[in-house]
């Protein structure tokens, strides 16, 4: 049995017939080939799979593709616009906010969401917002700095 | 000329921030099939029968593989990195919960998992031994009845140091202290789990695998030994690796199943384990039950250390240690101190727990050794009522003692330990902190200040002493310089996030006066790189970093001869400075590597013995290990009502010799400090007494987040390694090794008003609360 899922991903419309149980992370990765979002734990603990669903970060390993029907999804592949990196992306580069890069897309999607709501977040707020996601490499310090860098260079945010 | 070293943004980040990394699970081949592993729910059980008929009838299933299928190909068992054997798919019995029993190959991942449900395995459960301390009891269940003539769960005994002399010092000592402690079983848990895409081409006979491997060349050799495919027909590609920490050193049964699946179906097969499979079946770390003893004088002079260890290796001895060192480099348990004698005795046992014992940024078990000695120093400080920093300062090796041969024979290359500890104390404001602690205690607040000082031994290793399965631990490297003066460096070590594409380019740039942007680093593909043993044990910079500097110097020397021809001078009359060879006293005459490379490829008449081109290769066999060290101070607040620990500050001063890219070095330290907090306070894979794993998901196996980690305060001293070509020492695991004792010492220090002398990790709120009550838990077993 399959069901029809029509979803807007990164501004582009897709329609696919998929199994009702298909997870959003697998839909994005395997059906649409958007492999920038990663799968890491199955239990909503690690946040490697964070994407936006209707403008809010969700863990795509515990959202069914069917639940995204008629809605919009934004992934890491959409952060760069017209060849211009999002300040969050540039911040992660400038502040060594990533090592293996596996958690990075999820971290950046949450960071972008935070900065859209609060363009000048304090360190404690950044730590709170990112605390639902795990990084095994960086000890978080440089991720926090990366987000602050982005806050301080907001004029470069792609429209 | 310092074009090379210094803070430089990472080259690899450009793809990662765009979501354009290529991890194993991102590899997609046409017609690719998907595998899934059926695992044992029992910790110990005989397999009566396996019925795969229903699974095979599933419309999307292409193959079902059992141990019997593998037996026909002589693949049911595989060698481990410690020379033991491990079941690929169980044929006789299962020996730990989560052990591999069958493998399904299907058209998609979901169907493969569905088909697992259709396999009917009849088990006859057996009593299990989950408690290492009971494993050698005469009535303990026998785990390894497959080993001919084996009648016990004993694996090996290993000792180091001088027992007699140590005993003598203990008899003469004014004071001795003893403490039992457990380094619990933890797991590297990289965010990317282990996986493979196996593609066997029946026509060419070539096997290509994309695998999560920290050691692609070693894996290729092992596949050749196990699978029967000749080594030149095997290509191992390690694309981007989502964290390793030792987890991706061994070969796992799933890899061999996927390869077999590809051979059977003629199509490529992807297998990526899920998180529970990663935590329950792949290599864990530690699980060391230790008794430490110190002999000392009343003035605090530490005279000797004695250790006995019971090592739990699980159901198969899958530890990845150099052959002569079954307990790894635990022999450096003498720590950073000037001792009269030392001795340790390690006994390893089989239990009905997952196999391994290699990993998690441990520098071959130096993590355990440093924890042991640094905890013992605090136990002594507790008994003598001496400040723990002061006690360390009194006993640290002095700079003039280097090179220093410790009581177990390891030759520490260089160091100025007191300077490093003093810097950490100054950064912390140590004396002021102690005063604050006194004042807060008077108000009922528990503040703890923990100190640790570590010495590591990394960069395995000297070939005559160190091999894995007979393969010496030297690394090859190739450097090519193009006519237009750009270069390609090919290395065998494998980044899992360490930034090799940047750091290694910087080494070449430094040596040749190039821009790091003009040096491309190729790694992660056995068809495109020379042989080497891979990245673990902090060995990339000490071994391959040295190889890179040397190969660049070879190129520079070739360039000197060509430059001499260009300048119509004798090579001996040339000097090298600022990236150019020039005639002595005439810097304006200089030729850059780019100019020389073009000449070396040109019609210029080359001097006798010069073949043209500047390319060079090198194999580096390190003369000694390198010995990075550091001083760490942790400040914690403990809530006496709940037992909750909050890390308020963490000061880390590392000395890893010359720093190629300080930004990357600091990032490595940050990550290790977070690991240390995780192990000290949260991470634990415990079992119940029946052998059921209690740490099989991130719901149970707790990792530190941004809220548990403080803002790190880092410092540095630089004592170059005297034998490493650029004086670098390696840093990847320093913080993981050094930080857990600092955190534990801080928590125990906070509990001083309750006269708590020790409690085992992880220091969860429950454990701390119990310690306050004077009855801390055993953390390896859940005993109801």
pLDDT digits (tens, 9 = 90+) for B22-75: 999 999 999 999 999 999 999 999 999 999 999 999 999 999 999 999 999 999
Q: Do B667 and A126 touch (CB under 8 A)?
A: no
Q: What pairing do the DSSP bridges indicate for beta strands B234-237 and B206-211?
A: parallel
Q: Do B16 and A75 touch (CB under 8 A)?
A: no
* B342/B337 Cα distance (integer angstroms): 11
To the nearest whole Å, the CA of A151 is away from the closest chain B CA by 17
Q: Which of B10, B23, B672 sits opposite A102 (nearest CB)?
A: B23
* B665/B656 Cα distance (integer angstroms): 9
pLDDT in tens, B621-667: 999 999 999 999 999 999 999 999 999 999 999 999 999 999 999 99
Question: Closest Cα partner for B322 from B536, B524, B523, B132?
Answer: B536
To the nearest whole Å, the CA of A142 is away from the closest chain B CA by 8
Q: List alpha helices for B619-757, DSSP H.
A: 662-681, 734-750
Q: Where in chain A are the domains? A: 3-78, 87-152
Query: Chain A interface, mutation test: which of B16, B27, B663, B674, most A Cβ atoms within 10 Å?
Result: B16
pLDDT in tens, B187-233: 999 999 999 999 999 999 999 999 999 999 999 999 999 888 999 99
Instruction: For chain B, say whether A115 makes contact (Cβ under 8 Å).
Output: no
**For residues B272-280, average pLDDT:** 98
String of DSSP letters for chain A: --EEEEEEETTEEEEEEE-TT-BHHHIIIIIS--TTS----SSSSS-TTEEEETTEEEEGGGSBGGGGTTSEEE-GGGTSBTTB--HHHHHHHHTT--SS-SSHHHHHHHHHHHHHH-SS--HHHHHHHHTTS--SSSTTHHHHHHHHHHHHTGGG---
Q: Which of A22, A46, A137 sits opposite B671 (nearest CB)?
A: A137
Cα B538 versus chain centre, distance: 7
Q: List alpha helices for B520-642, DSSP H.
A: 546-567, 593-601
pLDDT at A158: 73
Instruction: For chain B, say whether A5 makes contact (Cβ under 8 Å).
Output: no
Task: Count Cα atoms within 13 angstroms, Cβ side, for B557.
Answer: 9
pLDDT at B81: 87
* B624/B541 Cα distance (integer angstroms): 14
**For residues B340-354, average pLDDT:** 98
The answer to whether B704 and B673 are in contact (CB under 8 A) is no
Q: Do B706 and A136 touch (CB under 8 A)?
A: no
Nearest CA in chain B to A33: B26
Q: What pairing do the DSSP bridges indicate for beta strands B781-782 and B687-688?
A: parallel
* B555/B576 Cα distance (integer angstroms): 13
Nearest CA in chain B to A127: B706
Tell me if the pTM is above 0.95. yes
Buried b (16+ CB within 10 A) or exposed e, B644-680: ebebebbbbbbbbbbbbbebbbbbbbbbbbbbbbbbb
Instruction: For chain B, say whether A80 makes contact (Cβ under 8 Å).
Output: yes
The answer to whether B64 and B103 are in contact (CB under 8 A) is yes
* B203/B557 Cα distance (integer angstroms): 45
Residues in chain A within 8 Å Cβ distance of B705: 130-134, 140
Q: Quick check: B702 pLDDT over 90?
A: yes
The answer to whether B29 and A86 are in contact (CB under 8 A) is no
Instruction: For chain A, say whether B646 makes contact (Cβ under 8 Å).
Output: no
With bands split at pLDDT 50, 70 and 90, how would you rate the model's confidence at B2? very low
The helix/strand/coil state of B634 is strand
Cα B166 versus chain centre, distance: 31
Helix (H), strand (E) at residue B368: helix B366-384
* B568/B614 Cα distance (integer angstroms): 19
The helix/strand/coil state of B613 is coil
What tokens appear for B104 in the block?
A: 């399904």
* B408/B422 Cα distance (integer angstroms): 27
Least confident of B1-15, B129-143, B295-309: B1-15
Q: What is the CATH number of domain A3-78?
A: 3.10.20.30
Q: How far is CA B269 from CA B103, B109, B204, B690, in A?
A: 11, 10, 17, 35
Q: Do A19 and B28 touch (CB under 8 A)?
A: no
pLDDT at B125: 98
Instruction: For chain B, say whether A37 makes contact (Cβ under 8 Å).
Output: yes
pLDDT at B319: 87
Residue B611 neighbours by CB under 8 Å, 6+ apart: none
Q: Do A139 and B671 touch (CB under 8 A)?
A: yes
What tokens appear for B139 in the block?
A: 């009535």
Residues in chain A within 8 Å Cβ distance of B498: 99
Q: Which of residues 671-690 of B touch A (CB under 8 A)?
A: 671-675
Question: Closest Cα partner for B722 from B546, B579, B575?
Answer: B546
Q: Do B17 and A46 touch (CB under 8 A)?
A: no
Q: Do B703 and A134 touch (CB under 8 A)?
A: yes
To the nearest whole Å, the CA of A103 is away from the closest chain B CA by 7
Domain A87-152 has CATH 3.30.465.10: no
Question: Closest Cα partner for A103 from B493, B589, B671?
Answer: B671
Cα A154 versus chain centre, distance: 18
Helix (H), strand (E) at residue B393: helix B388-395
The answer to whether A69 and A26 are in contact (CB under 8 A) is no
* B610/B377 Cα distance (integer angstroms): 59
Q: Do A42 and B707 touch (CB under 8 A)?
A: no
pLDDT in tens, B356-379: 866 677 889 999 999 999 999 999
How many other CB atoms sit within 10 Å of the CB of residue B598?
19
Query: Chain A interface, mutation test: which of B7, B19, B540, most A Cβ atoms within 10 Å?
Result: B19
**For residues B83-92, average pLDDT:** 95
How many other CB atoms sit within 10 Å of the CB of residue B11?
18
Residues in chain B within 8 Å Cβ distance of A122: none
To the nearest whole Å, the CA of A87 is away from the closest chain B CA by 11
Q: Quick check: B335 pLDDT over 70?
A: yes
Q: How far is CA A150 from CA A90, B21, B340, B539, B707, in A?
A: 7, 22, 55, 35, 20
With bands split at pLDDT 50, 70 and 90, how would you rate the model's confidence at B83? confident
Query: How far is it between the farthest Cα atoms of chain B?
Result: 85
Q: Do B667 and A137 touch (CB under 8 A)?
A: yes
Residue B413 neighbours by CB under 8 Å, 6+ apart: B402, B403, B624, B625, B626, B627, B721, B722, B723, B729
Residues in chain A within 8 Å Cβ distance of B669: 139
B176: which strand partners?
B295
Q: What is the mean pLDDT of each successive set of 10 residues along chain A, which is 159 residues long?
A: 97 98 98 98 96 98 98 98 96 98 98 98 98 98 98 84
What tokens appear for B641 in the block?
A: 């009502």
Question: Closest Cα partner for B320 from B278, B291, B362, B352?
Answer: B362
Q: Do B275 and A29 touch (CB under 8 A)?
A: no
pLDDT at B784: 44
To the nearest whole Å, the CA of A149 is away from the closest chain B CA by 15
Q: Do B243 and A137 touch (CB under 8 A)?
A: yes
What tokens appear for B501 in the block?
A: 């594409």
CA-based Rg of chain B, rounded to a whole angstrom?
27
Q: Do B705 and A140 touch (CB under 8 A)?
A: yes
For chain B, the average pLDDT equals 96
Q: Do B19 and A128 touch (CB under 8 A)?
A: no
* B139/B152 Cα distance (integer angstroms): 10
Q: Do A138 and B17 touch (CB under 8 A)?
A: no
String of DSSP letters for B231-271: GGGEEEE--B-S--TTTTSS--HHHHHHHHHHHHHSS-EEE
Residues in chain A within 8 Å Cβ distance of B22: 35
pLDDT at B358: 64
To the nearest whole Å, the CA of B776 is away from the closest chain A CA by 29
Instruction: For chain A, say whether B661 makes contact (Cβ under 8 Å).
Output: no
Instruction: For chain B, say whether A146 makes contact (Cβ under 8 Å).
Output: no
With bands split at pLDDT 50, 70 and 90, how would you rate the model's confidence at B277? very high
Q: Do B190 and A123 touch (CB under 8 A)?
A: no
pLDDT at B515: 96
What number of C-beta contacts closer than 8 Å exist between A and B? 175
Instruction: For chain A, say whether B738 makes contact (Cβ under 8 Å).
Output: no
List strands edge to edge, sheet with B206-211.
B61-66, B100-106, B33-39, B269-272, B195-201, B206-211, B234-237
Instruction: For chain A, say whether B149 makes contact (Cβ under 8 Å).
Output: no
Q: Do A43 and B672 touch (CB under 8 A)?
A: no
To the nearest whole Å, the CA of A33 is away from the closest chain B CA by 9
Residue B176 neighbours by CB under 8 Å, 6+ apart: B170, B293, B294, B295, B296
Residues in chain A within 8 Å Cβ distance of B671: 99, 136-139
pLDDT at B267: 98
Q: Quick check: B1 pLDDT over 50?
A: no
Residues in chain B within 8 Å Cβ distance of A48: 191
With bands split at pLDDT 50, 70 and 90, how would you rate the model's confidence at B756? very high
What tokens appear for B20 in the block?
A: 């354009």
Instruction: For chain A, say whether B29 makes contact (Cβ under 8 Å).
Output: no
pLDDT at A159: 64
Q: Quick check: B446 pLDDT over 60?
A: yes
Instruction: For chain B, say whether A69 makes contact (Cβ under 8 Å).
Output: no
Q: Quick check: B781 pLDDT over 80?
A: yes
pLDDT at B13: 98
* B20/A112 Cα distance (integer angstroms): 18
What tokens appear for B315 in the block?
A: 């159901």
To the nearest whole Å, the CA of B701 is away from the closest chain A CA by 10
Instruction: For chain B, say whether A67 makes contact (Cβ under 8 Å).
Output: no
Q: Quick check: B323 pLDDT over 70?
A: yes
Q: Quick check: B731 pLDDT over 50?
A: yes
pLDDT in tens, B528-561: 999 999 999 999 999 999 999 999 999 999 999 9
């Amino acid at each position: 049995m399959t069901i029809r899922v029509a979803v807007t991903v990164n501004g582009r419309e897709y329609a696919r017939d998929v199994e009702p149980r298909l997870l959003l992370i697998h839909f994005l990765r395997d059906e649409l080939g958007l492999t920038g979002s990663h799968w890491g734990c199955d239990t909503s603990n690690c946040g490697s799979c964070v994407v936006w669903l209707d403008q809010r970060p969700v863990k795509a390993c515990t959202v069914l593709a069917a639940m995204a029907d008629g809605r919009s999804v934004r992934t890491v592949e959409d952060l760069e616009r017209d060849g211009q990196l999002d300040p969050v992306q540039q911040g992660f580069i400038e502040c060594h906010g990533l090592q293996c890069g596996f958690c990075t897309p999820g971290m950046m999607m949450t960071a972008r969401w935070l900065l859209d709501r609060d363009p000048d977040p304090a360190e404690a707020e950044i730590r709170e917002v990112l605390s639902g996601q795990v990084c095994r490499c960086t000890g978080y310090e440089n991720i926090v700095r990366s987000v602050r860098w982005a806050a301080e260079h907001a004029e470069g945010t792609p429209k | 000329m310092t074009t090379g070293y210094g803070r430089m943004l990472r080259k690899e980040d450009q793809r990662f921030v765009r979501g354009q990394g290529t991890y194993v699970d991102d590899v997609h081949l046409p017609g690719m099939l998907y595998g899934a592993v059926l695992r044992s729910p029992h910790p110990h059980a005989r397999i009566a029968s396996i019925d795969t008929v229903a699974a095979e009838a599933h419309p999307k299933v292409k193959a079902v593989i059992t141990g019997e299928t593998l037996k026909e190909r002589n693949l049911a068992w595989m060698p481990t990195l410690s020379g033991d054997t491990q079941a690929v798919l169980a044929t006789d019995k299962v020996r730990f919960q989560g052990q591999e029993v069958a493998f399904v190959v299907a058209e998609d991942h979901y169907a493969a998992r569905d088909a697992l449900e259709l396999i009917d395995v009849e088990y006859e459960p057996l009593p299990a031994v989950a408690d290492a301390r009971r494993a050698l009891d005469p009535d303990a269940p026998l785990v390894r009845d497959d080993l001919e003539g084996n009648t016990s769960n004993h694996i090996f005994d290993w000792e180091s140091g001088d027992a007699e002399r140590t005993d003598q010092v203990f008899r003469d000592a004014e004071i001795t202290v003893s403490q039992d402690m457990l380094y619990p079983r933890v797991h590297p848990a990289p965010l990317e789990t282990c996986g493979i895409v196996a593609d066997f081409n029946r026509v060419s006979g070539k096997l290509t695998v994309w695998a999560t491997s920290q050691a692609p060349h070693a894996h290729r050799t092992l596949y050749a030994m196990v699978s029967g495919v000749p080594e030149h027909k095997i290509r191992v590609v390690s694309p981007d690796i989502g964290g390793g920490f030792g987890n991706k050193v061994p070969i796992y049964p799933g890899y061999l199943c996927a390869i077999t699946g590809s051979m059977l179906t003629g199509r490529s097969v992807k297998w990526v384990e899920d998180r529970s499979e990663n935590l329950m079946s792949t290599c864990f770390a530690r699980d060391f039950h230790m008794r430490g003893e110190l002999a000392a004088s009343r003035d605090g002079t530490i005279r000797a250390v004695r250790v006995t260890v019971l090592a739990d290796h699980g159901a198969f001895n899958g530890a990845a240690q150099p052959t002569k060192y079954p307990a790894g480099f635990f022999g450096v348990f003498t720590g950073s101190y000037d001792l009269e004698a030392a001795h340790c005795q390690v006994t390893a046992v089989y239990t009905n727990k997952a196999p391994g014992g290699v990993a998690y940024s441990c520098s071959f078990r130096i993590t355990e050794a440093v924890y042991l000695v640094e905890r013992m120093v605090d136990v002594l400080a507790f008994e003598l009522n001496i400040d723990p920093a002061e006690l360390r300062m009194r006993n640290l090796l002095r700079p003039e003692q280097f090179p220093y041969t410790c009581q177990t024979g390891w030759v520490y290359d260089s160091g100025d330990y007191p300077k490093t500890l003093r810097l950490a104390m100054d950064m912390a404001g140590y004396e002021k902190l102690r005063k604050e602690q006194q004042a807060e205690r008077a108000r009922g607040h528990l503040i703890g200040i923990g100190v640790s000082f570590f010495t590591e031994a990394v960069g395995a290793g000297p070939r005559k002493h160190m091999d894995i399965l007979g393969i010496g631990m030297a690394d090859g490297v190739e450097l090519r310089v193009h006519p237009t003066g750009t270069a390609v460096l090919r290395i065998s070590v494998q980044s899992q996030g360490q930034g090799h594409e940047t750091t290694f380019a910087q080494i070449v740039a430094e040596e040749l006066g190039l821009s790091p942007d003009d040096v491309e680093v190729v790694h992660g593909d056995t068809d495109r790189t020379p042989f080497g043993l891979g990245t673990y044990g902090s060995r990339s910079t000490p071994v391959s970093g040295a190889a890179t500097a040397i190969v660049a110097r070879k190129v520079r020397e070739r360039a000197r001869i060509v430059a001499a021809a260009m300048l119509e001078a004798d090579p001996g009359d040339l000097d090298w400075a600022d990236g150019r060879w020039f005639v002595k006293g005439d810097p304006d005459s200089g030729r850059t590597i780019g100019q020389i490379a073009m000449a070396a490829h040109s019609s210029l008449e080359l001097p006798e013995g010069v073949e043209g081109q500047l390319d060079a290769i090198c194999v580096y066999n390190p003369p000694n290990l390198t010995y990075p060290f550091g001083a760490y101070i942790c400040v914690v607040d403990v809530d006496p009502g709940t037992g909750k620990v909050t890390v308020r500050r963490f000061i880390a001063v590392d000395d890893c010799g010359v720093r190629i890219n300080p930004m990357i070095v600091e990032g490595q330290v940050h990550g290790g400090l977070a690991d240390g907090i995780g192990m000290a306070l949260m991470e634990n894979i415990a079992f119940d007494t029946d052998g059921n794993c209690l740490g099989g998901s991130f719901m149970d196996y707790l990792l530190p987040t941004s809220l548990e980690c403080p803002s790190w305060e880092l410092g540095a001293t630089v004592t170059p390694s005297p034998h490493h070509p650029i004086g670098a020492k390696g840093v990847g695991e320093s913080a993981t090794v050094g930080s857990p004792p600092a955190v534990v010492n801080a928590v125990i220090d906070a509990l001083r008003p309750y006269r708590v002398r020790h409690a085992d990790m992880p220091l969860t709120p429950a454990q701390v609360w119990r310690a306050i009550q004077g009855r801390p838990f055993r953390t390896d077993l859940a005993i109801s």
